Amino acid sequence: MSACPPSEQALLIIGIGSPFGDDRIGWEVIEQLQRMTLPSGVQLLSLDRPGVELIERMQGHAQVILIDAVHSEEHPLGTCLELTSGSLRRHDNASTHGFGLAETLRLGQSLNALPPRLQLYGICIRPPQASPDAMLSPTVKAAAAQLARQLALLVHPSGTYTMEPSCSR
Amino acid sequence: MTSRRIRIDVPALTRVEGEGSLRLEINDGQLVELGLSIFEPPRYFEKFLEGREAKEVVDIVARICGICPVAYQVSALNALESLSRQTASPWVQRMRRLFYCGEWLQSHALHIHLLALPDFLGFDNAIAMAEQHPDEVKRGLKLQGLGNALIRLFGGRSVHPVGARLGGFHHAPALDEVAELVDRLKAAQQDAGELTRFCAGLPLPDDPQTFICVALHHPDSYAMESGEIRTSTGLSLSADQFEQHFHESHKPDSTALWSDLDGQPYLTGPLARLNINHPQLPDFLQQRISEIGLALPSSNMFHSLIARALEIELVLHEAIQRLEAYDYPEAPYTALPLEPGTGCGMSEAPRGLLWHRYQLDEKGLIKAARIVPPTSQNQARIEADLHRSLTAFGLDHDEEALRLRAEQVIRNYDPCISCATHFLTLEKVES
């Protein structure tokens, strides 16, 4: 986990998670991105259930991409969704986060304290029941790899990442 | 005769994700039953620790609570290091208090702004409150962020930090990181002073109660990371004597343990600390207490809110002082060989006294562990408070008003942040 100083220029990608099995998916995406060659203006950050501190962590960044696990009855395991804060109410987190992401973003909205450009990607997981430090399931791990390549292409279109875009709105 | 049974479910009162419920039964205007039930997962952590090496404990216990991991780490270290003939260096002892200041700052700032204020400003939750009181909420987030930054300085990260170890820390912060944080902390001191005045100006219920206060006391400073137990009944106890006076028992409808002090409910937490240790506060806080007209010791449980604000001012002040005097050490830890035996240790978590005991065998493995967190210690007091507060409030109020007052009373003991936005749901059964 690394601290990133605020920068108006930088794009910040934050993976949110906990050590509980597939709930670590956000961290996995960041780890995948760390192995890729990305433009210097892109900052990567993994956070363990930041709660409302997420608002402070996003301050000063013109663009932020958030990645978190979501629980949805409507979508199969490993489905990647590009979400809006409105749809988050339907896809409210199944993770062990205290002050959930949906509530935190709503609070940030009320305070007019969210970054000008904010994107949110969710990968569907089962509610975490595994013990701490359990491994990621293969389906979810594959979805993380795919989302990482998609984000790499998004921030660096001329990069040589091989993949098909996978996230649906 | 009117009889009504009100059932209130309270999710997430203990640790991070415990669940609880409150049962109220009112018959003919009389409170005939009041039961606070906590459905907290049994303490598997104490079992998880058995067979582990002593050095692993500090990282495992950091996982017990997402709000107060530093408290769990420091209490564990105090207990384990009591089994060494050597002590951690003065630098480590100073930095542990600094590390702990971060936890009080972040936990208290969140509690006041996101849990408590909506009750007193008339909102269902912090999100609704933020639209009309954005400056107050932003102040809370700023103070909380600074507390987390202080925890990260030593812990590497603010949730479940990993920087602490037996004998000290894995690394010492660099001088430039320290200097940068000092400037930010100084810039927040005015906010903290305003926060105390703001809390003192809130329409807090005035309902004096009689209760026993229990807090650590240290001869040199307002106790936080170490000290001996003092009670308002006059007891002075070491960590080793805790079990002679404090007892835990199961209640039939609760999976959490209830604590008593020689058979009596008691209070642990910020108001208990303030009542016992307020003469040790620095001069500027003595002046603040006079300025806001707070008489101490206080018997109004709702003054816990003001106690938290005063403690925020205290830890900001102390953190600045300690960071300004920061020196980069030769080594951030001292190797402390531990001897077999039983070690007890404690500290003041944001919510109150946190006591640990570990039994270490000849191979250096944990043979037994016992952890007594503040939440279970306060449960009997919360129930007594509810009984008293709801009766004083008036049992003829409608369920909504009774529910709100019950929530306020419970929140006052600083329940977990996860219940902030969906606290009590009420089910009324007429009979």
The residue among B308 and B403 whose pLDDT is bigger is: B308
Say if CB B20 and CB B13 are below 8 A apart: yes
Cβ contacts (< 8 Å) between B127 and chain A: which residues? 103, 106-107, 110
| pLDDT value of residue B138 | 93
Give residue-wise pLDDT tens across range B216-257: 999 999 999 999 999 999 999 999 999 999 998 877 666 567
Closest CA in chain B for residue A97: B418
* pLDDT value at A118 more than 80: yes
Residue with tokens 């998916």: A25
pLDDT at B25: 78
Contact A56 B145 (CB under 8 A): yes
Lowest mean pLDDT among B140-149, B190-199, B245-254, B366-375: B245-254
Q: What is the mean pLDDT of residues B197-208?
A: 92
* Interface probe, candidates B14, B418, B419, B422, chain A, greatest A C-beta count within 10 A: B418
Amino acid type, B355: W
Q: Please count the residues of chain B.
A: 431
Distance CA B122, CA A127 (A): 34
- Whether residue A48 and residue B144 make contact (CB cut-off 8 A), yes or no, is no
Q: A9 CA to chain B: closest CA distance, Å?
A: 21
**B16: chain A residues, CB-CB within 8 Å:** 96, 98
* Closest residue in chain A to residue B153, using alpha carbons only: A3
The pLDDT value given to residue B318: 98
Quick check: A141 pLDDT over 50?
yes
B145–A132: do the CB atoms touch at under 8 Å? no
pLDDT value at residue B50: 93
Find the CB nearest B130 among A1, A100, A111. A111
Tokens standing for residue A25: 């998916």
Residue B145 Cα, gap to closest chain A Cα (Å): 6
Distance set, CA B157 to CA A25, A65, A68, B160 (Å) = 18, 20, 18, 7
Tokens of B261: 């002090």
The residue with tokens 């604000």 is B309
Band the pLDDT of B55: cuts 50, 70, 90.
very high
Give the DSSP H or E segment for A118. Answer: strand A117-124
pLDDT greater at residue B122 or residue B316: B316
Is residue B213 pLDDT above 90, yes or no?
A: yes
pLDDT value, residue B6: 54
- Condensed to tens digits (0 to 9), the pLDDT of residues B109-150 reads 988 998 888 888 988 778 889 999 999 999 999 999 999 999
Helix boundaries (H) for A65-137? 101-110
Residue whose C-alpha is closest to residue B380's, from B18, B36, B15, B4 = B36
Higher-scoring residue by pLDDT: A90, B307: B307
**pLDDT exceeding 90 applies to what percent of chain A?**
36
Closest CB to B421 among A1, A56, A103: A103
Q: What is the mean pLDDT of residues B287-311?
A: 97
Q: Which of B46, B138, B56 is nearest to B370 (CA)?
A: B46
SS3 content of chain A, % helix, strand, coil (to 5): 30, 20, 50
Closest CA–CA distance from residue B159 to any residue of chain A (Å): 6
pLDDT of residue B315: 98
Buried b (16+ CB within 10 A) or exposed e, A42-63: bbbbbbbbbbbbbbbbbeebeb
How many interface pairs between A and B have CB atoms less than 8 angstroms apart? 68
What's the length of chain A?
Answer: 169
Tokens standing for B342? 């039983």
Q: Which of A160-164, B156-160, B345-349, B371-375 has the lowest mean pLDDT?
A: A160-164
Among candidates A99, A110, A132 on the partner chain, residue whose Cβ is nearest the Cβ of B420: A99
Q: Indicate whether B4 pLDDT > 70.
A: no
User: Positive or negative, the Cα torsion across B50, B51, B52, B54?
Assistant: positive
Mean of the pLDDT values across residues B362-391? 90
**Taking 50 as the threshold, does the pLDDT of residue A6 lie above it?**
no
Rounded to the nearest angstrom, the minimum Cα separation between B134 and chain A is 6
- Residue B239 identity (one-letter amino acid): A
The two structure tokens encoding residue A82? 């590009």
- A106 to chain B: nearest residue by CA? B127
Average pLDDT over residues B405-413: 84
Q: Of B115-124, B170-179, B185-194, give the lowest mean pLDDT range.
A: B115-124
Are A52 and B142 a contacting pair at CB < 8 A? no
Contacts of B157 in chain A (CB under 8 A): 1, 48
- Interchain CB distance below 8 Å, B130 and A107: yes
Dist CA B123 CA A46 (whole Å): 33
Can you tell me the distance from the alpha carbon of B20 to that of B425, in angstroms, rounded to the nearest whole number? 11
d(CA B356, CA B368): 11
Dig out the tokens for B143 from the structure: 């103070």
Count Cβ atoms within 10 A of the Cβ of residue B315 and give its class: 0-12 exposed, 13-18 middle, 19 or more buried.
buried
CB contact under 8 A, A96 and B141: no
- The amino acid occupying position B250 is H
**Helices and strands, counts by H and E, chain A:** 4, 5
Tell me the average pLDDT across A31-56: 90
Confidence of residue B374 (pLDDT cuts 50, 70, 90): confident
Contact B188, B142 (CB under 8 A): yes
> How is residue A75 written in tokens?
């979508």
How far is it, in rounded angstroms, from Cα B212 to Cα A151? 57
Cα(B376)–Cα(B260) distance, integer angstroms: 10
Answer whether residue B187 shows pLDDT above 60: yes
Contact B160 A132 (CB under 8 A): no
Output the CA–CA distances (angstroms, integers) from residue B92 to B52, B97, B161, B228, B320, in the order listed.
24, 9, 16, 19, 17
B420 interfacial to chain A (CB closer than 8 Å): yes
Q: What angle do CA B167, B169, B175 make, to 5 degrees?
A: 135
Indicate if the pLDDT at residue B11 is higher than 80: no
Question: What pLDDT score does B365 carry?
Answer: 97
How many CA within 13 A on the CB side of residue B72? 27
Residues of A in contact with B66 (CB under 8 A): 49, 98
Residue B44: CB partners within 8 Å, gap ≥ 6? none
**Residues ≥6 apart with Cβ < 8 Å to B325:** none
Note the pLDDT tens digit of each residue in B326-363.
Answer: 999 999 999 999 999 999 999 999 999 999 999 999 99
Query: What phi and psi, each to the nearest 5 degrees, are found at residue B208?
Result: -60, 140
Give the model's pLDDT for residue A169: 53
Average pLDDT over residues B163-183: 95
Q: Which of A56, A95, A112, A131 to mutate to test the interface with B (most CBs of B within 10 A)?
A: A56
The number of beta carbons lying within 10 Å of the beta carbon of residue A38 is 18
- List, for residues A63-115, the tens digit of each pLDDT value: 999 999 887 778 888 999 888 776 665 444 333 334 678 888 988 998 999 99
Distances (CA, A) of B242 to B43, B179, B357: 19, 40, 10
Inter-chain CB proximity A99 and B418 less than 8 Å: yes
State the average pLDDT over residues B93-108. Answer: 96
Q: What is the dihedral of CA B90, B91, B96, B98, to 10 degrees?
A: 120
Nearest to A98 among B16, B131, B157 (CB): B16
CA dist., res. B15 & res. B160, Å (int): 13
Please report residues of B whose CB lies closer than 8 A to that of A55: 141
pLDDT on residue B1: 39
Query: ∠ at Cα B298 (B67, B418), nearest 5°?
Result: 20
Q: Which residue of A has its CA nearest to B148?
A: A53
Q: Please report the pLDDT score of residue B196 as a whole number.
A: 98
SS3 category, A112: coil
- pLDDT mean over B284-309: 97
Residue that has been written with the tokens 């809130």 in this structure: B202
Residue B185 has pLDDT above 80, yes or no: yes
Of the candidates A47, A49, A56, which has its C-beta nearest B141's C-beta?
A: A56
Q: Is the ipTM of this complex over 0.85?
A: no
How far does the CA of residue A145 sit from the closest CA of chain B (Å)? 25
Rounded Cα–Cα distance for residues B274 and B298 (Å): 9
Whether residue B12 has pLDDT greater than 80: no
pLDDT at B14 over 50: no
Rg (CA), chain B: 21
In chain B, what residues touch A103 (CB-CB under 8 Å)? 127, 420-421
**Could you tell me which of B115, B187, B194 has the C-alpha nearest to residue B146?**
B187
Interface of B with A in 104-163 (CB under 8 A): 106, 110, 114, 126-128, 130-131, 134, 137-138, 141-142, 144-145, 148, 152, 156-160
Range with the poorest average pLDDT among A148-152, B111-115, B269-273: B111-115
